[in-house]
């Protein structure tokens, strides 16, 4: 069998991670962590919306680590540093989409604890996702054809209405009154991992930054929105634009920008790119756009169905990295520390055309 993997949580991203682990012949699902008591004892496949796999979800961390997994696929909404340190110190590697790229966003003390746990367990942790993560790699690759790089901007510009996680959306300002005095601080905290992405890109480019700064803008709902999983009332935040800048000599050299909208009626009503756009200012200037589209024969008819493709795109950069992370040197590792990560193990033999 391949690498032994524990799936940690089965939320929006975790369900797609679990499905991918089961589908990949190079990976073996050996355990599943249940976030809530209502999931304990249920079959992991059932929780992920597939056929039963004969593995019951549990909240018993000791029992999961006793399985001696090679890696934990860690997908909660927010990281728990105590849990991460416990996993890593046991000798188990971690791939994660839970607001972790370099660990700086967690604070110096938390990052030092994670590094110490990696040393104790001779283990590694790799954080990615669609953005930050894969989108930053796209920016670095796009700049690889330039002999002068003045500035790289990576923009995520999407309608986030179908991302049905009220906790996540509210943490970055959605639904709060536009007059809320703490909106900027809220968004800065909720998107702090994008600052990690700026640092990761600067390290890969050999660029020493003087500072990393967050800027924010907001759009206000012009009528009430009932999104099913949450409400956005008139006069509350329905659009969020946050940009994280890596500065040298007062100039923004790396910018990671997100432009998110929820609902159809807001002011200002920003136009969306519906994807990920890289602009490299340099020689030559480069523009790269990544769009995520349904496969041929896609049966989903609602926007929520389409958003599942985003959950897949978030999960897979971490899942595909598992073999490399298991062989990596101990510590916090990023794209620059690993070999080329591909979709090995997921090449279909079917021809849908």
> What's the pLDDT tens digit per position in 81-92?
999 999 999 999
Instruction: Report phi then psi at 20, rounded to 5.
Output: -65, -40
Q: Extract the tokens encoding 308.
A: 């599942």
CA distance 229 to 304: 11
Alpha-carbon distance of 142 to 46, in angstroms, equals 40
Rounded Cα gap, residues 133 and 137, in angstroms: 7
pLDDT score recorded for residue 1: 62
Kindly state the tokens that stand for 324: 């490399």
pLDDT at 163: 79
Q: Quick one: which of 125, 156, 157, 159 has its CA closest to 139?
A: 156
Q: 73: part of which helix (H) or strand (E)?
A: strand 71-74
Backbone angles phi, psi at 71, to 5 degrees: -155, 150
- State the alpha helices, DSSP H only, in 49-192: 61-65, 81-89, 108-121, 135-142, 166-171, 183-190
- The DSSP element (H or E) to which 223 belongs, if any, is none
Q: How far apart are the first and last CA of the chain?
A: 32
Residue pointed to by tokens 């990544």: 290
> What was the pLDDT predicted at 352?
45
Could you give all domains of the chain from N- to C-terminal order, each with its CATH number? 3-128+321-337 (3.40.50.720), 131-297 (no CATH)
Residues 6+ apart with CB under 8 A from 80: none
Q: What is the pLDDT of residue 300?
A: 62
Task: Return the ∠ at Cα 324 (arms to 71 and 52), rounded to 5°.
Answer: 40
| Predicted pLDDT at 353 | 39
Note down pLDDT in tens along the chain; length 353 residues.
689 999 999 999 999 999 999 999 999 999 999 999 999 999 999 999 999 999 999 999 999 999 999 999 999 989 999 999 999 999 999 999 999 999 999 999 999 999 999 999 999 999 999 999 999 999 999 999 999 999 999 999 999 987 788 988 999 999 999 999 999 999 999 999 999 999 999 999 999 999 999 999 999 999 999 999 999 999 999 999 999 999 999 999 999 999 999 998 999 999 999 999 999 999 999 999 999 988 887 776 666 677 789 899 999 999 999 999 999 999 999 999 999 999 998 986 654 43
Token pair belonging to 339: 């070999």
Closest alpha carbon to 135 in 169, 101, 172: 101
Cα 230 off chain centre by: 22
Residue 164, number of CB atoms within 10 A of its CB: 15
Q: How far apart are CA 52 and CA 40, in angstroms?
A: 15
pTM of the model: 0.92
């Amino acid at each position: 069998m391949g690498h032994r993997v524990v799936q940690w949580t089965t939320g929006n991203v975790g369900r797609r991670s679990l499905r991918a682990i089961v589908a990949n012949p190079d990976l073996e699902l050996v355990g599943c962590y249940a976030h809530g008591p209502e999931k304990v004892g249920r079959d992991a496949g059932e929780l992920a919306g597939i056929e039963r796999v004969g593995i019951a979800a549990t909240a018993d961390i000791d029992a999961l680590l006793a399985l001696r997994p090679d890696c934990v696929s860690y997908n909660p909404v927010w990281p728990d540093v105590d849990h991460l340190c416990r996993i890593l110190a046991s000798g188990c590697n971690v791939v994660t989409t839970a607001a972790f790229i370099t660990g700086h966003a967690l604070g110096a003390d938390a990052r030092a604890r994670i590094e110490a746990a990696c040393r104790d367990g001779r283990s590694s942790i790799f954080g990615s996702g669609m953005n930050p993560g894969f989108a930053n790699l796209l920016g670095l690759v796009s700049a690889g054809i330039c002999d002068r790089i003045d500035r790289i901007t990576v923009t995520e510009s999407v309608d986030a209405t179908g991302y049905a996680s009220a906790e996540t959306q509210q943490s970055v300002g959605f639904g709060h009154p536009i007059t809320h005095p703490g909106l900027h601080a809220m968004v800065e905290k909720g998107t702090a991992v994008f600052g990690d992405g700026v640092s990761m890109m600067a390290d890969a480019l050999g660029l020493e930054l003087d500072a990393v700064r967050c800027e924010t803008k907001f759009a206000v709902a012009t009528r009430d929105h009932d999104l099913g999983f949450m409400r956005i009332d008139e006069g509350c935040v329905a659009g969020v634009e946050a940009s994280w800048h890596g500065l040298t000599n007062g100039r923004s050299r790396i910018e990671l920008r997100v432009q998110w909208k929820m609902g159809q009626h807001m002011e200002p009503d920003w136009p969306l790119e519906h994807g990920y756009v890289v602009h490299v200012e340099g020689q030559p200037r480069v523009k790269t756009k990544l769009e995520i589209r349904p496969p041929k024969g896609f049966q989903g008819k609602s926007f929520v169905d389409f958003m599942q493709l985003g959950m897949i795109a978030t999960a897979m950069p971490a899942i595909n990295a598992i073999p490399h992370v298991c062989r990596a040197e101990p510590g916090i590792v990023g794209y620059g520390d690993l070999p080329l990560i591909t979709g090995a193990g997921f090449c279909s033999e079917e021809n849908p055309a």
